[in-house]
Every structure is written in C-alpha cells, then in structure tokens.
C-alpha cells in the first residue's frame, strides 16, 4: 500500500469532542451568544422571572435562573445531548417554528467548550436533579435541592478552546454585549421579569408587566430604552395580509450616530436583518441625514410559515417568504406615522431652550435632539386664541429690539417697554420690499423669490419689522407674524401663544424639497436655462460617469448635464425652483452622492436623495436678508407643508416658546 503523499491527503473521521467543539464555535462565538441561548431556553420554558448573573464579562460565569417548567432526571440527561429537543419532533414542519429554540444544539455546544452545570426541578415534584458537562464530558444525573425551575451555570467559557478566548474583548465590552442581548429579549417579553447582575451589582432590572398588549409593551420599552425614548416616539400599528407590525418608532429629531439602537423582532425573536434595516432607512430617508439613525423597536408578527428562522447559526437572521410585502408594510407604516406626526408636539425642546437661556445666556444651544413643534391641539388653539395685541406705540416683544443691537451683535442694556416713546423697530429699509414683490406668481421658492436680495452690506445683526395692517390675522397663524430677522439667519415671529424662532435655511430647504417632490409627482420639474452654460470640473472620473449615466433622470429633476471633455460636465439647465443657485457646488455634491449611493439605494430612493441635495443647495442660505413679506410667506408655507417641523437632515426648523415658558424664564411664575 502506498504511503499517503502530500498531494493526496487522507480523509479521516473526527472524534466526537472535536466535532462538538467545531459545531459549538458556530453557535457560541462570545459570552453574549451563550447567554442569549440560556435566556431563550428560560423563555421557552414559560418562566415568569429570569435572573442573570455575570462575572468577568461572562467569561468566568454566566448563570441563568428561571421559574419555568423545569426538567426531570430523564429530560436533564437528554437536554445536553446534541440534537435532543422538546420543541419540535421529526414530523414537525421546519417552516412552522413557534419557540425560540428548536435545534437541540445550544446546551451541548456550551457544554463542549465550558463547564456547564444544570440544576432543575419540575414544579410539583419533590426532587430536583443536577448534571454537569465539562469540555464535552457529561457527568451523571444526581439528586439535588432547589425550588421549581432551572438554574444553568456556565463557568470558564472557552476553557476547552483557548484560541477562542483570545478573540474575546474586554470584560467591559463583553458585559455590555451580554446586557444588550438580555435587554433585547426583555423588550419582546414584557410579561416576564428580568434582572441582570454583574457580580453583585444590579445592572438591569425590568419588572413584570401585567397590562396587556400595547400598554405592557410601551411600559417595558420605557424600562429598557428609557422614558425619553418613549416620550419621543410614535406608536406604530399596521396590519396587512396577516402580517402585523407594532412597536415604537423614534421621532426623526431623536436620532443617533449609529444604528445600534434599532431593535427589530420577528415573532418575538430579536433579529439583525438587512431587509428590515433597509426598510427602516428608506422610511426615514426624507427625515434624516444619511449619517444619522433613528431609534426604534419594531415587532413584526407573521404566520410562522411565512418566515424561515433556520438560516443562521445564532438564529439572528431570518428569511421572509414574501420579502417585498414585509418591506412594503414597514416602509408604509413608518412613513404614515412620520407624516401624521409632522406637527406633533415636542416634549422638551422648548423647555431645554428655556433652560439654556436661563443657564448660560448667549451660549450655543448645542445639539437639539427633538424638535419643538406645536401639536395639532396647540395649532387649533392658536387659531382660537385671541392674542392681546400690542398697544399702539409699544413694542410687541423685547426680542424685536432692532436698534438695540449693534453691528457686532453686542447686546445693549435692556430697556423696559414703557421707556419706549414710539415703535422700537426701524420701519423697514426701503429696499427690503423688492424681493417680496418680486416673488410674484412663482410664490415662495420661485426663481425670483430670494434671488434679488443683496446681503446688506452694512447689515445690522438684528432687524425688526413693523406689523402691517393685517397683523392681527397673522398673529393668529400657528407660526405667527414675523417680527424680526436676526443674524440674517433666524426669523423671530410672534404667535398667539408666544414666540417662534425659525431657522430660515432649514425651513426653506424642507419647503423646496417638498415642492420638488410634488412637481416630480405631477410630471416634471420646471427648468430654467442658464444664460451661460456652466462647465464644472470634477476631479473624479467616476463622478462624471455617474452623472452622465443618470443624465435622463436628472433631466426629470430639471438638471440638464452633458459630458464635457475629460473629467468635466457642462450644465445647461437647472430646476427653476432652485432660483439662483451654486451650480458647481450642486453638481459636485450630486456626483459624490451618486457614486456612493448607486449601489445602496433603490432608484426611487435615490431620486428623492437627489431632490434633497438640490433642495439644500437651492435654499435660502443663512446670511440672506429677508423682507417681512418673505418671512411671513415662509411661515405660511411651513404651516401648509408636511414635515416642515424639521429639515431634510432631521434638524428642527423652528422652536416655539409659549408665554408660560417665557414667563418662567423671567421668574414671573
């Protein structure tokens, strides 16, 4: 017989221990995976209380104790055998799985790489039993003592596979992953109480919720994700063809820098699924910048036969029979809720604004996490509310103290209103009306609307406006009557309820975007020929290719580009509603984005993205002076436009302070 040559390796059967360790490597990659399996077993056992203890990030100890159905001596012995399960049988349809476990792999896998100890007692029986498995070596079942339910202890995880140990992260990071995993399961099971201890320290606790349905879910989500999230989230309820979507979706203004806080569940199982995260991204796309992410917890429930859970070793991914339908349901339910919430009240932004004013006068406001938008009720009330109008000769609001601010924006001492002999505002600068009239038939956002305004050469940083004859009516609008423009960036308006501060660029950007989408839906965006075609050099050949490939689509948006030699394009027409825009800047940004987005987004989503980019470039920049007519036109259009409470990047477009808050600010209450 030939000796085996190096080119003809021998095939041999591996021993049981090696097989088990290899298999275990797939199921249990880090402590958090093992813990997830143990908690899932406790949930499948019908536990009402689950208590978890960790030591050294779960590497030294993972213990899970439950008050579920328990195991008798025979079940205990089988539980640690590979492919032994109580959850399905050989006749079971693998496409119809209703428990979290089904493979009979978790306990034997953990036993193959750690020291596993199980102690269990069936409720009503007089004896508990215990069993240990060490690195795959199964001990004997012995009588033991404990209350009804099961305790599973995993010590020295991966002691039998030291290579794996080296890949673990710090105790802190592993603890974090473990706690996060338990939290995910806790969100989906509000009827079960949870505690997690890191050593002796309690690091997570969620009481058992005895309410039913949505109320329990909301309370549990508040316990896990915090009240701030639930206060800033929208209820999602949608159902189509037996597929149900529930949960809470954060307002676009409550965003994060990564998608870590997106919790998605399919039939009570936490999943990380590209289809689902893609649907979430598409739904929020109009509301958030590309690098911001919403916070949400969504629960998808569908007939077990519609989803395959047996596709991932850690059961973290699923496949849907009809992926399109699931995606459609998620996108439409989220969009619907976000649209309906276009004017939902902010919880605490106005309060934070007051706090910021009170704490550090003049300090930057920092990042807003939530928009202040009047609720529908407040909007209604604003119409009904008869605002006390300023008496003749009295300044409507100290904020409109035009002459008080010098060129450098240095504040002058506050002058009480009764000292003012006459109107405190300089009555318009004569040139300021030009743009307002020029807006003409095109209205706000039309080509001429803002194009004719010069940034004032020696503009003061605050400019107040006199109320016109129709002021009483204007004040009754939800966003009120424009009173001043400050720093050429913010509009100060007086509403029936108080004071509204608008970021003119953010607001106008949203308006242009919504107009553009409307125009597209109605068959095309009006174009405007450039007097001189503009050649735009791009330093990147891919950018030119992306633009030229998409030339027909871009023409639909009113942007006509053609290739121009090597590395450049020529722009002949631009969307009329962008007005006087920075063509080169727009085209360069678009080129970059088309290159980036080409793969990532579906055609329609990409088109909306192009809209958003153009809107940003076509918007009234900060630094432009607006006439009172223009400011009021902007406010009125905001009121009539969906989603106008935030710009396309999810920043609030305005903050409103009611008189109550203003009075608190001045300690009048």
Ligand X SMILES: Nc1ncnc2c1ncn2[C@@H]1O[C@H](COP(=O)(O)OP(=O)(O)OP(=O)(O)O)[C@@H](O)[C@H]1O
Contact string 128-167 vs ligand X (x = CB under 6 A): ----------------------x-----------------
Phi-psi region of 218 (alpha: psi -120 to 50; beta: other; left: phi over 0): alpha
What's the distance, Cα to Cα, between the start and end of the chain in Å? 101
Task: Spell out the alpha helix ranges (H) of 226-375.
Answer: 227-231, 274-284, 323-340, 349-359
**Is 319 or 434 the residue whose CB approaches ligand X more closely?**
319
CA distances from 295 to 131, 173, 300, 396 (A): 43, 21, 16, 40
Secondary structure (3-state) at 234: strand
Distance CA 475, CA 635 (A): 11
Instruction: Tell me which stretch binds ligand X (CB under 6 A): 40-48, 167-175, 182-190, 516-524.
Output: 40-48
Is 105 a binder of ligand X (CB under 6 A)?
A: yes
540-543-546 Cα angle (round to 5): 150
Contact string 554-593 vs ligand X (x = CB under 6 A): ----------------------------------------
Residues 6+ apart with CB under 8 A from 533: 570, 571, 572
Distance CA 400, CA 389 (A): 15
Distance CA 417, CA 174 (A): 61
Instruction: Tell me which stretch binds ligand X (CB under 6 A): 102-110, 130-138, 216-224, 266-274.
Output: 102-110
Given 24, 35, 42, 453, the residue binding ligand X (CB under 6 A): 42
Provide the minimum distance between the beta carbon of 55 and ligand X in the complex, in angstroms, as a whole number: 20
Angle between helix axes 171-188 and 213-225 (nearest 10 degrees) is 170
Is 266 a binder of ligand X (CB under 6 A)?
A: no
**Is 86 or 415 the residue whose CB approaches ligand X more closely?**
86
Instruction: Tell me which stretch binds ligand X (CB under 6 A): 84-92, 127-135, 237-245, 432-440.
Output: 84-92
**Is 269 or 517 the residue whose CB approaches ligand X more closely?**
269
Is 357 a binder of ligand X (CB under 6 A)?
A: no
- Return the one option of ligand X, Mg ion, none that residue 333 interacts with (CB less than 5 to 8 A, by type): none
Distance CA 76, CA 63 (A): 17
Size of the site for Mg ion (CB under 5 A): 3
Size of the site for ligand X (CB under 6 A): 21
Given 49, 60, 87, 335, the residue binding ligand X (CB under 6 A): 87
- Asked if 214 and 196 count as a contact pair (C-beta separation under 8 A), the reply is no
- Asked if 57 and 174 count as a contact pair (C-beta separation under 8 A), the reply is yes
Given 19, 25, 48, 86, the residue binding ligand X (CB under 6 A): 86
Is 79 a binder of ligand X (CB under 6 A)?
A: yes
Give the CB-nearest residue to ligand X: 101
> Which of 122, 40, 44, 109 is CA-nearest to residue 76?
122
Provide the minimum distance between the beta carbon of 68 and ligand X in the complex, in angstroms, as a whole number: 5
Provide the minimum distance between the beta carbon of 315 and Mg ion in the complex, in angstroms, as a whole number: 9
Given 58, 104, 250, 446, the residue binding ligand X (CB under 6 A): 104
Instruction: Tell me which stretch binds ligand X (CB under 6 A): 38-46, 130-138, 330-338, 512-520.
Output: 38-46
Is 106 a binder of Mg ion (CB under 5 A)?
A: yes
- Asked if 533 and 572 count as a contact pair (C-beta separation under 8 A), the reply is yes
Is 45 a binder of ligand X (CB under 6 A)?
A: yes
Angle between helix axes 583-600 and 541-549 (nearest 10 degrees) is 80
Torsion sign across C-alpha atoms 537, 538, 541, 545: negative
Instruction: Tell me which stretch binds Mg ion (CB under 5 A): 54-62, 101-109, 431-439, 515-523.
Output: 101-109
Given 31, 58, 101, 396, the residue binding ligand X (CB under 6 A): 101
Given 54, 106, 395, 587, the residue binding ligand X (CB under 6 A): 106
Provide the minimum distance between the beta carbon of 195 and Mg ion in the complex, in angstroms, as a whole number: 21
- Return the one option of Mg ion, ligand X, none that residue 85 interacts with (CB less than 5 to 8 A, by type): ligand X
Chain positions 432 to 491 lying near Mg ion, rule: CB under 5 A, are none
Is 120 a binder of Mg ion (CB under 5 A)?
A: no
Distance CA 425, CA 444 (A): 25
Given 33, 41, 119, 230, the residue binding Mg ion (CB under 5 A): 41
- Asked if 635 and 599 count as a contact pair (C-beta separation under 8 A), the reply is no
**Is 39 or 559 the residue whose CB approaches ligand X more closely?**
39
Given 41, 230, 613, 661, the residue binding ligand X (CB under 6 A): 41
- Asked if 70 and 123 count as a contact pair (C-beta separation under 8 A), the reply is yes
Provide the minimum distance between the beta carbon of 106 and Mg ion in the complex, in angstroms, as a whole number: 4
CB-count burial class (<10 Å; 0-12, 13-18, 19+) for 154 = buried
Provide the minimum distance between the beta carbon of 512 and ligand X in the complex, in angstroms, as a whole number: 52
Torsion sign across C-alpha atoms 45, 49, 53, 59: positive
Instruction: Tell me which stretch binds Mg ion (CB under 5 A): 40-48, 58-66, 159-167, 252-260.
Output: 40-48
Provide the minimum distance between the beta carbon of 101 and Mg ion in the complex, in angstroms, as a whole number: 3
- Asked if 303 and 263 count as a contact pair (C-beta separation under 8 A), the reply is no
Provide the minimum distance between the beta carbon of 40 and Mg ion in the complex, in angstroms, as a whole number: 5
Buried b (16+ CB within 10 A) or exposed e, 618-630: bbbbeebbbbbbb
Neighbours of 257 (CB within 10 A): 8
Is 85 a binder of ligand X (CB under 6 A)?
A: yes
Instruction: Tell me which stretch binds ligand X (CB under 6 A): 96-104, 164-172, 484-492, 549-557.
Output: 96-104
Is 107 a binder of ligand X (CB under 6 A)?
A: yes
DSSP state, 391?
P
- Return the one option of ligand X, Mg ion, none that residue 86 interacts with (CB less than 5 to 8 A, by type): ligand X
Secondary structure (3-state) at 301: strand
Instruction: Tell me which stretch binds ligand X (CB under 6 A): 80-88, 428-436, 470-478, 650-658.
Output: 80-88
Distance CA 260, CA 621 (A): 33
Strand residues in 135-254 grouped as ranges (E):
137-138, 142-144, 149-155, 193-198, 201-206, 233-240, 243-250
Provide the minimum distance between the beta carbon of 120 and ligand X in the complex, in angstroms, as a whole number: 6
Query: Partners of 153 in the beta sheet?
Result: 63, 117
Given 21, 24, 36, 37, the residue binding ligand X (CB under 6 A): 37
Is 101 a binder of Mg ion (CB under 5 A)?
A: yes
| C-alpha 656 chain-centroid distance | 23
**Is 42 or 370 the residue whose CB approaches ligand X more closely?**
42
**Is 42 or 484 the residue whose CB approaches Mg ion more closely?**
42
- Asked if 96 and 304 count as a contact pair (C-beta separation under 8 A), the reply is yes
> Which of 268, 264, 256, 186 is CA-nearest to residue 224?
186
**Is 87 or 636 the residue whose CB approaches ligand X more closely?**
87
Contact string 55-74 vs ligand X (x = CB under 6 A): -----------x-xxxx---
Give the interface with ligand X as residue ranges (CB under 6 A).
37, 41-42, 45, 66, 68-71, 79, 85-87, 101-107, 150
Give the interface with Mg ion as residue ranges (CB under 5 A).
41, 101, 106
């Amino acid at each position: 017989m030939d000796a085996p040559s190096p080119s003809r390796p021998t095939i041999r059967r591996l021993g049981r221990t090696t097989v088990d360790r290899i298999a275990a490597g797939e199921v249990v990659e880090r402590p958090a995976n093992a813990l997830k399996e143990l908690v899932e077993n406790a949930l499948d056992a019908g536990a009402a209380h689950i208590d978890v203890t960790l030591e050294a990030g779960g590497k030294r100890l993972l213990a899970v104790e439950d008050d579920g159905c328990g195991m008798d001596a025979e079940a205990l012995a089988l539980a640690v055998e590979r492919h032994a399960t109580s959850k399905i049988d050989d006749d079971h349809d693998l496409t119809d799985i209703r428990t979290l476990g089904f493979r009979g792999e978790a306990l034997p896998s953990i036993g193959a790489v750690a020291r596993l100890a199980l102690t269990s007692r069936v409720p009503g029986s007089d004896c508990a039993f215990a069993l240990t498995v060490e690195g795959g070596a199964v001990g004997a079942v012995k009588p033991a003592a404990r209350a009804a339910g099961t305790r599973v202890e995993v010590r020295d995880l991966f002691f039998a596979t030291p290579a794996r140990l080296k890949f673990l992260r710090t105790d802190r990071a592993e603890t974090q992953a473990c706690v996060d995993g338990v939290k995910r399961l806790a969100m989906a099971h509000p009827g079960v109480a949870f505690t997690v201890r890191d050593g002796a320290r309690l690091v997570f606790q969620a009481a058992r919720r005895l309410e039913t349905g949505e109320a329990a879910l909301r309370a549990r989500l508040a316990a896990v994700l915090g009240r701030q999230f639930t206060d800033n989230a929208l209820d999602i309820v949608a159902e189509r063809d037996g597929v149900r979507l529930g949960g809470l979706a954060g307002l676009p203004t409550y965003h994060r820098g990564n998608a870590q806080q997106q919790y998605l569940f399919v039939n009570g199982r936490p999943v990380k699924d590209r289809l689902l995260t893609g649907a979430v991204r598409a739904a929020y796309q109009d509301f958030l910048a590309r690098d911001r992410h919403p916070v949400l917890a969504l629960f998808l429930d569908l007939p077990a036969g519609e989803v395959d859970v047996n596709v991932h070793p850690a059961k973290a991914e699923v496949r849907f029979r009809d992926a399109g339908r699931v995606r459609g349901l998620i996108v439409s339910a989220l969009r619907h809720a976000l649209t309906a919430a276009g004017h939902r009240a902010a919880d605490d932004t106005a309060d934070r604004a007051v706090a910021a004013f009170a704490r550090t006068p003049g300090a930057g406001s920092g990042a807003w996490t939530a928009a202040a938008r009047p609720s529908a009720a407040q909007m209604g009330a604003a119409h009904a509310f008869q605002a006390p109008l300023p008496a003749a000769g009295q300044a409507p609001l100290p904020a409109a103290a035009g002459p008080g601010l010098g060129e450098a924006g240095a504040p002058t001492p506050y002058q009480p209103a009764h000292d003012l002999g006459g109107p405190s505002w300089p009555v318009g600068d004569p040139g300021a009306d030009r743009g307002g009239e020029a807006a003409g038939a095109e209205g706000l956002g039309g080509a001429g609307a803002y194009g004719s305004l010069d940034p004032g050469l020696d503009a003061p940083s605050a400019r107040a406006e006199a109320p016109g004859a129709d002021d009483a009516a204007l004040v009754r609008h939800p966003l009120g009557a424009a009173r001043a423009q400050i720093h050429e960036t913010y509009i100060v308006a007086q509403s029936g309820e108080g004071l509204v501060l608008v970021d003119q660029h953010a607001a106008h950007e949203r308006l242009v975007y919504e107009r553009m989408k409307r125009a597209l839906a109605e068959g095309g965006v009006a174009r405007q020929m450039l007097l001189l075609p503009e050649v735009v050099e791009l330093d990147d050949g891919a950018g030119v290719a992306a633009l030229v490939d998409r030339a027909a689509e871009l023409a639909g948006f009113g942007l006509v580009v053609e290739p121009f030699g090597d590395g450049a394009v020529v722009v002949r027409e631009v969307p009329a509603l962008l007005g006087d825009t920075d063509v080169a800047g727009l085209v360069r940004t678009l080129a970059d984005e088309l290159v980036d987005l080409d793969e990532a987004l579906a055609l329609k989503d990409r088109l909306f993205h192009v809209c958003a980019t153009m809107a940003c470039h076509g918007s009234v920049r900060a630094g432009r002076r607006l006439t009172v007519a223009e400011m009021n036109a902007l406010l009125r259009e905001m009121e009539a436009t969906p989603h106008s409470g935030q710009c396309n990047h999810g920043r609030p477009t305005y903050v409103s302070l009611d008189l109550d808050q203003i009075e608190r600010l001045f300690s009048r209450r």
